[in-house]
Chain A
Amino acid sequence: MLTIIRERLRQGHRTGKFPKQEPVLPARFRGAPHIQPGLCQSGCDQCLSACPFSAVQLIDGKPHLDLGRCLFCADCTVCSHGAISFTNDYRLAASKRDDLLTSETEHRLASALDGQMKRLFGRSLKLRQVSAGGCNACEADLNVLGTLVFDLGRFGIQFVASPRHADGLLITGPVTENMRSALLETYAAIPEPKLVIASGACAIGGGPFITSTETHGGVGDLLPVDLYIPGCPPHPYTALDGLLRLLGRR
C-alpha cells in the first residue's frame, strides 16, 4: 500500500487543464490547413495531383480542402508556390458535411445542439462506440480520452457498454459491408432522441478505403450525422474539442 502511495506521489497529478488552457502539440503536428489562393499560379495543379484521395478541389479556380477526405498527410504542400500549408490548430470538428470544405476564408467549426437537445445531453452524454472497419487507431485515440490526462468523465461524457444506455453513437471506420447490419442494429437499439458522431476520415468519407468494394465509404449514406470529427486518426484533443462544441461548452 505504501509503495502504491509513494508511486502515486511520484507520478503526480496529470489531468490536463483543457479547455481552460490550450494544449501544446508537437511542432510537426498537422492540423487545420492554411490556404492562400493568392499564391496560386494559373494552370498549376500540383496540389490537386499530389492528393491521392481528391481532398484538394478547385472551386472557382481557388483551392479548397475537404477535411472529410483529408488524411492530413500534407502531400499537397508540395505546391512550389506555398499555397497550402498546415497549421498546428487541432480544432477541426464540424456540424455539417459541407462545413468540412475549407477555403481561404471559411473553416466553420461545429456549433452547439439546439436548446432542447442541449438540455437533454449538455451535462451528461453517454455514447456507444461502434468500430465499423476502423484500423484501431481511431479507437485507440478515443480510448485515450478516458485516461487521466483527458479525463472525459469530468465533462459528463462517457462511453457505455450497451446501446440501451446510450444517447448517441460514435462511429469509426468506413463501414464495411460485414459491419453494416451490426451498425444499423446498434443504432436502432439506442433510444430516441439520439446523436450520431462520425470520427475519422474513414467514417466521414471512406478514408483510404474510399474505392473499396467491401466498404460503404463512410456513415453519411446510412445514418444522419450530427458531428464530424476529421483526422486520420483525429487527435484526442480534436475529438474532445468537437464533443465540447457539440454540447455548447466551447
Chain B
Amino acid sequence: MTSSKLFRFRHGLSIPLADIPRLDFDEFSTSLLEEIADAGRVANYFGRPVAEGVELYAILAHDWKGEFAVLRTSVKDRFPSLTPQLPQLHLFERELAEQFGLRPEGHPWLKPVRFHKTWIDSSDIWGRDTAKHPVPGDMDFYRVEGEEIHEVAVGPVHAGVIEPGHFRFQCHGEEVMHLEISLGYQHRGIEQLLSGGPHPTSSYQIETSAGDTTIGHMTAYAQILESLSGTDAPPRAYAIRAIALELERLANHVGDIGALAGDVGFLPTASFCGRLRGDYLNLTAELCGSRFGRGLVRPGGVGFDLDTKLSQYLLDRLKTLEGETRGAIDLCFDSPSVLARFEGTGKVKIEDAEALGLVGVAARACGLVRDARLHHPFGVWEKGFDAPVIEIDGDVFARGNVRRREIFASLKLLGQLIRQLPEGPVASSLGGLAGDCLAVSLCEGWRGEIVHAAITSATGQIERYKIVDPSFHNWSGLALALRGQQISDFPLCNKSFNLSYCGFDL
C-alpha cells in the first residue's frame, strides 16, 4: 500500500534504524490509519527521547500475513491524538503523555496511567508538582450523576490475596453503567531499569515483570537479545521453552477455571482445580527447581536440560493429571446451575474487542483469531500450529471454555513436544548486541501475546525497552464487559479475564 513509508518484517529480526524512514506526523498518522484499515492492529507503540524531541514508533501487526510494519515519526510538545479514530491507541497515547510530557491533542480520556514522574525533564501535562512523586489514583474519574445513581469505589487493597488496583463503578441500583479502572500501584519502573542494559539484573526483572508469566516474558526477552546479537538458540532450547510455556498455560488456565467455579459457589471444581494447578506448577519445578520457571529461560537458550528420565516422568504425570483435570473441569461445565451463571454474563462484542485491540483468551472468546503461535511462529511453532481455540459469544462462558479447550490442546501439544525433543545442546553463547537497531519479539503467553521491543544505542546498549503485556490491551475489555451487568457479577467477570496488575504497571 504505502510501502515506501513502512518497513515490513517478520518478528525475530533486527532492523537497522537507518532503514526505517522518518515520516512527518501527517504521513505517519495517515499510513497508520491505512494499515489498520488493511487488517492491521497496533502491537506496540512507544516513544524514545532524542535530541530534537521524542521519536514515536508504531509496530503494527498483520496477523494473516505473519508480518509486522514499523512506522516512525518525531514530535515535540504535542501531537494530534489518533485515539478518536483508533480507540486501541488510547493507553499508548496516555503513556506517552505521562512518560515524556507530550500532549495528544483531542484525546478523549487523557489521564495518567501509572502515576510516576516524567522520564525526561519536561513539564507535567496535568499540572502536578514536578518536584514530588504523583499520588496514585489522583485524577478525575468519569462520573454519572442523577437520582438513584451511586458510586462504588474499591481498592487499591482488595479483600483477597491479590494485587492492588482501584475500581470505580457508576451504578444505578445493582446495574453497572460504567466501570473505570485505575492502576499503577505496582509500578516498579522496569523499563527504566532495563535501559543501558543488558545488565546482569535484567533477566530477573523481566522474570518478575509478571510473575505468573515468567516463561512468556522471558522468552520474548531472550528472543530480543538473540535477534540483536545474531544468535540462534539451539532447537532443543526452543522445544524446552515451548514445553515450559505450555506448562505455564496449563497451570494458570486450570487455576482460573477453579477460580471461576469458586466464584459461582461450585466448590468441587474450585477445590480440585486449586490442587491441580499446584501439580502443574510442580512439573515446572521438576524442570528447573522453581514453580514459576525462574532461571529456566535465558538469552541464548535455557538453563536446564530435560533428560530421558525426567521426560518420562513428565509424560507419566501428565497422563494422570489429564484424567483428573478432565474430571474436575467437566463437572463444572456439565452443571446447569454453573452454566446459568456463566452464559450471557459479561459479554464483549467482537466489534468492541477489535476496536480495543484485545488479545489472547479475551480476544479469542469474542471470535477474533489472534494467536501468536499461529500467526507469528518461532522455534517449534514454525513446524505448524493449527489449533487456535475460538469461541464466539464473548461472555464468561466463552472465556472459560476457551481455557477449557486450550487445556486439552496444551496437554496434547506437550505430549508431542516431549516425545519429539530434538537432540543437541540447550544453550549457545550470546555475542554483543548490534548498534542502532530495533528488535521486536512476540510470545503467546497464557493470557495472550506479549510484545517486547528494544532499540539499541550506537554502541549496542539497550537504549529503550518497551514491554506490552496482554493485560495492557485487555483491562479496557473488562471495563466494557461490566456495562449493564449486575455489580455482583464483577468478581466473575474479573476472574474470566484474570488480568495482570504488575504486567500492566511494569
Contact = CB atoms under 8 A, between A and B. Distances in A.
Given A135-B208, A148-B274, A3 B334 contact: yes
Interface stretch (B31-39, B161-169, B431-439): B161-169
Contacts of A212: 188-190, 192-193
Interface stretch (B3-11, B197-205, B351-359, B477-485): B197-205
Nearest to A189: B157
B185 A207 contact: no
Interface string A192-217: 00000000001000011101111100
Contacts of B161: 129, 131, 139, 142-143, 159
Interface in A129-145: 129-144
Contacts of A135: 208-212, 502
A182 B156 contact: yes
Contacts of A174: 188
A4 B331 contact: yes
B252 to A, nearest CB: 9
Contacts of B157: 130, 182, 186
A52 B295 CA distance: 13
A68 interface: no
B201 A29 contact: no
B79 interface: no
Interface stretch (B285-293, B389-397, B403-411): B285-293
- Which of A27, A30, A147 has the most B CB atoms < 10 Å from its CB? A147
Interface in A158-175: 159, 161-162, 173-174
A169 to B, nearest CB: 10
A182 to B, nearest CB: 5
Contacts of A243: none
Given A133-B186, A133-B502, A149-B275, A28 B285 contact: yes
User: What range describes how many residues of A lie at the interface?
Assistant: 35 or more
Interface residues of B, number: 62
Contact of A26 (B193, B211, B282): B282
- Which of B184, B185, B255, B277 has the most A CB atoms < 10 Å from its CB? B185
B502 A29 contact: no
By DSSP majority rule, is chain B's interface helix, strand, loop, or mixed?
Answer: loop
- Which of B160, B200, B211, B328 has the most A CB atoms < 10 Å from its CB? B211
Given A176-B188, A178-B136, A208-B201, A137 B214 contact: yes
B187 interface: yes
Nearest to A130: B157
B467 to A, nearest CB: 13
B331 A136 contact: no
A207 B190 CA distance: 13
Contact of A11 (B200, B208, B324): B324
Contact of B502 (A7, A136, A177, A236): A136
Contacts of A28: 285-289, 304
A232 interface: yes
A235 interface: yes
A29 B268 contact: no
A177 B327 contact: no
B107 interface: no
A134 B186 contact: yes
Contacts of A53: 201, 204
Contacts of A131: 161-164, 186
Interface in B167-198: 184-190, 192-193
Contacts of B286: 26-28
Interface in B33-90: none
B219 interface: no
Contacts of A32: none
Contact of A73 (B186, B211, B278, B295): B295
Contacts of B277: 144, 147
Nearest to A162: B159
B268 A7 contact: yes
Interface string A64-96: 000000011110000000000000000000000
A20 interface: no
Contacts of B189: 209, 212-215
B331 A233 contact: no
Contacts of B290: 29-30, 72
Nearest to A135: B211
B304 A232 contact: no
Given A133-B188, A135-B211, A173-B186, A179 B289 contact: no
B191 to A, nearest CB: 11
A178 B271 CA distance: 34
| Closest 9 A/B residue pairs (Cβ) | A137-B211, A135-B211, A28-B289, A161-B159, A147-B274, A52-B200, A214-B189, A135-B208, A208-B204
Interface of B: 114-116, 133, 136, 156-157, 159-164, 184-190, 192-193, 199-201, 204-205, 207-212, 214, 255, 268, 271-272, 274-275, 277-278, 282, 285-292, 294-295, 304, 324, 327-328, 331, 334, 500-502
27 contacts: A3-B334, A4-B331, A26-B285, A28-B288, A53-B201, A72-B290, A131-B162, A131-B186, A137-B292, A142-B161, A144-B277, A146-B274, A147-B275, A148-B275, A159-B161, A178-B184, A179-B136, A182-B164, A207-B204, A208-B205, A208-B208, A209-B208, A213-B189, A215-B189, A233-B211, A233-B291, A235-B291
Given A52-B204, A142-B161, A161-B160, 10 more contacts: A72-B290, A133-B186, A141-B291, A148-B271, A148-B275, A178-B184, A208-B204, A209-B188, A214-B189, A236-B278
Interface of A: 3-4, 7-8, 10-11, 14, 25-30, 52-53, 71-74, 129-144, 146-149, 159, 161-162, 173-174, 176-179, 182, 186, 202, 207-209, 211-215, 232-233, 235-236
